[in-house]
């Protein structure tokens, strides 16, 4: 399907000079960083200069969503009802057509663009994987992604997606309402483990707890497939320490920063000294994630919020670029 055509008719893009119309952050101004650190950006437009000042070639953001437009429209509809679904408003900050969104993340400095898709019901993942292959083929800088659902067919379509070149997977435990340690997934996990392909997995019990969310089922999968390259979305929010345990125990388990300390679910000031200390020790395991475009604040808030943890420029370099580039295989 031609996603761009769909998008152009459904989500008109406003005419404007720069690709990114986002308002200024509140985080960068509210929270100080130590004098020894490079001053964080205050607007999306300042993000590329900040990355350059740190000596980075760009940002390696591992948690970005591009979806078939009809699926994205449903996701946006869900967030439009966030007051009912989550108990608070969630205005999508980057509600533009596909090409505009691609250009926004390029301008922010993403050298490779994830297109994380995920099914909410059986029989959908194989189709999403086909869409992912087409979307990646149409854009040089889009990462070929894949997904799965706990269903017998995953034993076939996961190896097929890997053979077709999928480089990054996404699994959503709460939306999918299945357990990652369901045995029906064993062939899929085995194929992903052999391929050493990273899997961004939303398994934490926030913003909404699910029947199968939480660290135990992920730990069970790792006990069986210890080389699986799991990237725990949202740092495992709210089970931060339990998921940090896994990142410390397994060389191949990482944490992504998506929405952490960005001022919406948590602010830098709310991070406990003990957890902040753990994050310093996990410098090689924390990877930038943003949830673009489905975030209720400008992208810069994620960057400024992480800087406001005050863990130093080296920590920021590792998180914004080095760790993600390693896992995504970027130069
Ligand atoms: Zn996400």
Q: Identify the pLDDT of residue 24.
A: 54
Query: What are the CB-based long-range contacts (under 8 Å, 24+) for 147-150?
Result: 147/116, 147/117, 147/118, 147/119, 147/171, 148/119, 148/185, 148/188, 149/119, 149/121, 149/122, 149/123, 149/124, 149/125, 149/176, 149/178, 150/176, 150/178, 150/179, 150/180, 150/182, 150/184, 150/185
List, for residues 276-286, the tens digit of each pLDDT value.
999 999 999 99
CATH number of the domain to which 271 belongs = 3.20.20.140
* Each residue's pLDDT tens digit, 208-227: 888 888 899 999 999 999 99
193's enclosing H/E stretch is: helix 186-195
**How remote is the CA of residue 63 from the centroid of ligand 1, in Å?**
6
Per-residue pLDDT for 232 more than 90?
yes
Q: Please say whether the beta carbons of 298 and 29 come within 8 A.
A: no
Contacts of 163 (CB under 8 A, 6+ apart): none
The pLDDT score that the predictor gives to residue 207 is 80
Is residue 239 scored above 60 in pLDDT? yes
Q: Measured in angstroms, how far is the CA atom of residue 35 from the centroid of ligand 1? A: 33
Q: Tell me how far the alpha carbon of residue 117 lies from the centroid of ligand 1, in angstroms.
A: 9
* Percentage above 90 pLDDT, the chain: 78
Distance 148 CA to ligand 1 centre (A): 15
Residue 3 lies in a domain: no
Is residue 24 a part of any domain in this protein?
no
- The answer to whether position 19 is within a domain reads no
What is the distance in A from the centroid of ligand 1 to the CA of 172?
Answer: 9
Q: Report CA(170)–ligand 1 centroid distance (Å).
A: 9
What pLDDT does residue 25 have? Answer: 58
Specify if 12 maps to a domain: no
Say if 219 falls within a structural domain.
Answer: yes
Asked whether residue 261 is domain-assigned, the answer is yes
The pLDDT value recorded for residue 5 is: 38
Q: How far is the centre of ligand 1, averaged over its atoms, from the C-alpha of 292 (Å)?
A: 8
Domain housing 122: 29-328
The average confidence (pLDDT) of the chain is 90
pLDDT for position 21: 47
Q: How far is the CA of 258 from the centre of ligand 1 (A)?
A: 7
Please list, in sequence order, all residues whose beta carbon lies within 8 angstroms of the beta carbon of residue 18, skipping any fewer than 6 positions away.
Answer: 45, 107
C-alpha of residue 184 to centroid of ligand 1, in Å: 24
User: E-assigned strands of 112-198?
Assistant: 145-147, 168-172
Q: pLDDT-derived band of residue 26, with 50, 70 and 90 as boundaries?
A: low
> 269 C-alpha to center of ligand 1: Å?
23
Number of domains in the chain: 1
4 part of a folded domain: no
* pLDDT over threshold 60, residue 22: no
The pLDDT value recorded for residue 84 is 87
Q: What is residue 14's predicted lDDT score, i.e. its pLDDT?
A: 39
Residue 28 pLDDT grade (very low, low, confident, very high; cuts 50, 70, 90): very low
Q: How confident is the model at residue 27 (pLDDT cuts 50, 70, 90)?
A: low
CA of 300 to the centre of ligand 1 (A): 17
- Compute, in angstroms, the gap from residue 197 CA to the centroid of ligand 1: 18
pLDDT digits (tens, 9 = 90+) for 188-206: 999 999 999 999 999 988 8
How far does the centroid of ligand 1 lie from the alpha carbon of residue 2, in Å? 23
73 CA distance to ligand 1 centroid (A)? Answer: 15
Q: How far is the CA of 317 from the centre of ligand 1 (A)?
A: 22
With a cut of 80, say whether residue 287 has pLDDT above it: yes
Q: Is residue 274 part of a domain?
A: yes
How far, in Å, is the centroid of ligand 1 from the Cα of 101?
A: 15
């Amino acid at each position: 399907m031609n996603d761009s055509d769909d998008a152009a008719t459904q989500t008109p893009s406003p005419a404007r000079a720069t690709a990114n119309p986002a308002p200024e952050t509140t985080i960068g101004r509210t929270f100080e960083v130590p004098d020894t650190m490079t001053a964080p950006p205050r607007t999306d437009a300042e993000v590329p200069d900040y990355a350059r000042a740190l000596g980075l070639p760009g940002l390696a953001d591992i948690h970005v969503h591009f979806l078939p437009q009809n699926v994205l429209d449903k996701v946006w509809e869900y967030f439009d009802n966030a007051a009912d679904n989550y108990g608070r408003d969630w205005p999508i900050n980057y509600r533009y057509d596909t090409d505009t969104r691609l250009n926004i993340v390029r301008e922010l400095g993403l050298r490779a663009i994830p297109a994380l898709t995920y099914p909410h019901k059986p029989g959908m993942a194989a189709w999403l994987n086909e869409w992912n292959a087409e979307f990646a083929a149409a854009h040089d800088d889009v990462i070929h992604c894949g997904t799965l659902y706990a269903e017998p067919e995953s034993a076939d379509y996961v190896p097929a997606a890997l053979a077709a070149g999928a480089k990054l997977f996404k699994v959503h435990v709460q939306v999918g309402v299945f357990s990652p340690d369901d045995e029906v997934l064993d062939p899929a996990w085995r194929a992903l483990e052999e391929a050493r392909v990273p899997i961004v997995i939303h398994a934490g019990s926030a913003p909404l707890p699910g029947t199968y969310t939480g660290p135990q089922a992920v730990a069970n999968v790792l006990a069986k497939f210890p080389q699986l390259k799991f990237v725990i979305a949202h740092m495992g929010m709210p089970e931060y320490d339990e998921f940090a345990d896994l990142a410390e125990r397994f060389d191949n388990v990482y944490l992504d920063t998506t929405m952490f300390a960005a001022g919406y679910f948590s602010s830098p000031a709310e991070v406990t000294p003990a957890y902040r200390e753990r994050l310093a020790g996990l410098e090689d395991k924390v990877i930038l994630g943003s949830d673009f475009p489905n975030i209720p604040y400008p992208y810069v808030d994620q960057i400024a919020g992480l800087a406001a943890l005050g863990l130093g420029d080296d920590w920021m370099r590792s998180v914004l670029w080095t760790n993600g580039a390693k896992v995504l295989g970027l130069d």
